[in-house]
Amino acid sequence: MLYYSLNHNSPKVTFAEAAVRGQAPDKGLYFPEYIPQLPTDLIKNIRSYSKEELGFIVMKPYVGESIPDDVLRQIVAETINFDFPLVKVTEDIYSLELFHGPTLAFKDVGARFMSRCLGYFNRHAYHHTTVLVATSGDTGGAVANGFLGVDGVEVIILYPSGKVSPIQELQLTTCGQNITALEVQGNFDDCQAIVKQAFMDADLTGKLSLTSANSINVARWLPQQLYYFFAYQQWHLEQPPVICVPSGNFGNICAGLVAHLSGLPVKHFIAACNANDAVPEFLKTGNYQSKQAVATISNAMDVGNPSNFVRILEMFNNELPALQNVLSSYSIDDVTTAATIKNVYEQHNYMLDPHGAVAYYALNDYLQQHTSDNGIFLETAHPVKFPDTVEEATHTKIPFPESVQYLQGKEKKSIVMPASFEALKEWLMKR
């Protein structure tokens, strides 16, 4: 398997090269030269596979010869060594809970897979790899946890000051060791733009071996397919599900679409967005317009110009009607999000986080119009990460999960930085 740049002005590379570089030299995102097709009997017999074996079968074609099979099996096993339960919420709606990993967020899978891949690729290296990553919330904690203590890798996380939840901030600012948090005085789009500019700067790329741990990196993006296979393993209805994904940078739903095009049965996809509605507007009008990010209570989705949407367009040859046949998109405001948390808790005794609430509402609305369908929404983060919003809506104190008890009483350690590339460059060049 080789990967090409979506800007079509760089040579094709292996999985290892794509993972280490993050972006292509022409600044395009890497994309697999083809989408592998699943073995014909895999879906028919999917319940007979262990999670580990299923994960290996799915990921092997993308990794190719870059990692030996025994090492890849170990990487997959370590990546997914927690539960991904499919929980019934109503008669026709199920929640795929992706918050049972070490940082209580769906991004644990991609971060753990990528960190272990880079650890393998750097096993004989005499220089450090610097992972530069922007986060709107959960990516930072997952990447910090996944890369903590990995030899030969330094991680620098940019996050928007005052725009991540308290637990999210503690997860990415209290690690120490090879993890540094930069508190940027701006929004997520500012952080993402600064990181992208860093990869384009000859001085920095000449001094540092830079790579990205955002979902633009194939090693972070592609393993997210596994959620969808684990959901289907637990799906007991004959008709394939409609799947609704809370969407910010569109890496997660993009991975789901790859899984579907490789042969996983899904009846329809829904991208559930908050007030940041670039993609819903595009699917409605055919006109794509990136926008300044709007702050919402579902902060991890506060992205005005989602990087991965270009990959989705590539999958459908930039043909809008073909994309519309497979994908719908909704924009849900904060008032509706909070009301959904309240109503679902009162009526079904199920506690949503704000991102899951956006997805639940969009899926429920879709199913009201498609009454013969059933669906799954992705619950991407534990409600405890958003205590103010969830506790106000439910009037219930959220128990602190045991896996994050260690954060209580810790003090954040961050470096405050203006929202400018020049500030980041000066800081990096002086290190």
The CATH topology of domain 83-105+221-398 is Rossmann fold (3.40.50)
39-54 confidence digits (pLDDT tens) = 889 999 999 999 999 9
End-to-end, the C-alpha distance of the chain in Å comes to 37
250 contacts 306 by C-beta, under 8 angstroms: yes
For residue 126, what pLDDT is reported? 60
Rg (CA), the chain: 20
| Selected catalytic residue, list 51, 107, 163, 385 | 107
Is it the case that residue 136 has pLDDT exceeding 80?
A: no
For residue 182, what pLDDT is reported? 96
Q: Give the separation between CA 49 and CA 51, rounded to whole angstroms.
A: 6
What's the token pair of residue 55? 């994960």
Kindly report the average pLDDT of the chain as a whole number: 93
H or E element, residue 141 = helix 138-147
204-263 confidence digits (pLDDT tens) = 988 888 888 878 899 999 999 999 999 999 999 999 999 999 999 999 999 999 999 999
Q: What residues does each domain of the chain span? A: 83-105+221-398
317-367 confidence digits (pLDDT tens) = 999 999 999 999 999 999 999 999 999 999 999 999 999 999 999 999 999
1-54 confidence digits (pLDDT tens) = 999 999 999 999 999 999 988 889 998 999 999 999 998 899 999 999 999 999
Q: Is the dihedral of CA 386, 388, 390, 396 positive or negative?
A: positive
H or E element, residue 270 = strand 268-273
222-239 confidence digits (pLDDT tens) = 999 999 999 999 999 999
* Residue-level length of the chain: 431
Q: Is 107 a catalytic residue?
A: yes
